[in-house]
Amino acid sequence: MTSAVEHSFVEVNGVRLHIAEQGQGPLVLLLHGFPECWYSWRHQFAPLAEAGYRVVAPDQRGYARSGQPADIDAYSMLHLTGDVIGLVHALGEDSAVVVGHDWGAPVAWSTAMLRPDVVRGVVGLSVPPLPRGPVAPLVALGSLLGDGFYQIYFQEPGVADAQLAQDPAATFRSLLAGASGDSPQTDPPRPWVIPEGATLLDTMREPEELPAWLTEDDIQTFVREYAEHGDRAFTGGLNWYRNLDRNWELLAAFHGRGIDVPALYMAGDRDLVRSFPGMDDLLGSLHRTTPKLHDNVTLPGCGHWTQQERPDEVNAALLDFLAQLPAAKG
């Protein structure tokens, strides 16, 4: 087993991706969300590697040390799933178990749906599989939550980008603490809706004290990882949101298709995603969307940052799931 996390770069689909890696054995890819990077999985590397897995966590396109294509259209779900498949092959592997959190979860679910020949198993943290609806997602969400809903607020290029990049340390403190299970704002959880004339960070002040699972060293690590892109530090990740309706158009041919590989879903009961409109129905239909669902795990008191807030429970569930999968070929 590799004794420490090692860092390198790979070229995938014309984008230079930074990866963090530990261990040897069947490949497990860990896909972070917004606004995160490989470091979000810091508690998963050693336990999975010690159990006999090759653990690789990329900074996905647009994030942290990875390349940041200038074109907003370069962040569609087809690009993102293409990066996962390209990364598997660039690592010299034929297949992988793909684990995603937050935005990484839709990428993981979509990759499993599109390429079940490559994905041996799929795990989603926080965000369940989101079947393609009858109308574009921003239209649906806007009608239910208004134009202040954060995913709509993120659509204007340059606006949220500048606000979040003005003081990255404050941004990470506010978002990580504010959406955690330790925050008053998640009791009960509710979607982020920004009042007219305000910013996202206006609705989520910096905490006087960080929650126990998050240290100032963690905050400064995120800041350093994001430093390369300067005032565009958050632009790559925001561009993922700017493709929501385009993804709906591009994936029309897969309307109604489920996920045919073994799956696991985990989320905290204080996760803001669980408060989105229609989420109860989605969670109630998981077995229809993912007929090979191994388990649906709810973590009491946990907020949005699942694997950071509850690493021991997440690691135990991941190892249990991985142990149930058929042996990797080759």
Instruction: Write out the catalytic residue numbers.
Output: 102, 304
90: amino acid identity, one letter: A
128: amino acid identity, one letter: P
Q: Does an H or E element contain 20, and which? A: strand 15-22
137: amino acid identity, one letter: P
**CA gyration radius, the chain:** 18
> What phi and psi values does residue 189 have, to the nearest 5 degrees?
-70, 150
Q: Enumerate the H helices of 197-263 as residue ranges.
A: 216-226, 235-241, 244-250
Based on DSSP, count helices (H) and strands (E) in the chain, helices before strands: 14, 8
d(CA 25, CA 19): 17
d(CA 225, CA 37): 8
Taking alpha carbons only, the member of 179, 174, 144, 178 closest to residue 234 is: 174
- Residue 192 carries which DSSP code? -
d(CA 39, CA 45): 10
Strands (E), 53-187: 54-58, 96-101, 119-125
Count of residues making up the chain = 330
The token duo for 254 is: 């897969």
Q: Does an H or E element contain 101, and which? A: strand 96-101
Q: Are 271 and 189 in contact (CB under 8 A)?
A: yes
Q: Are 73 and 246 in contact (CB under 8 A)?
A: yes
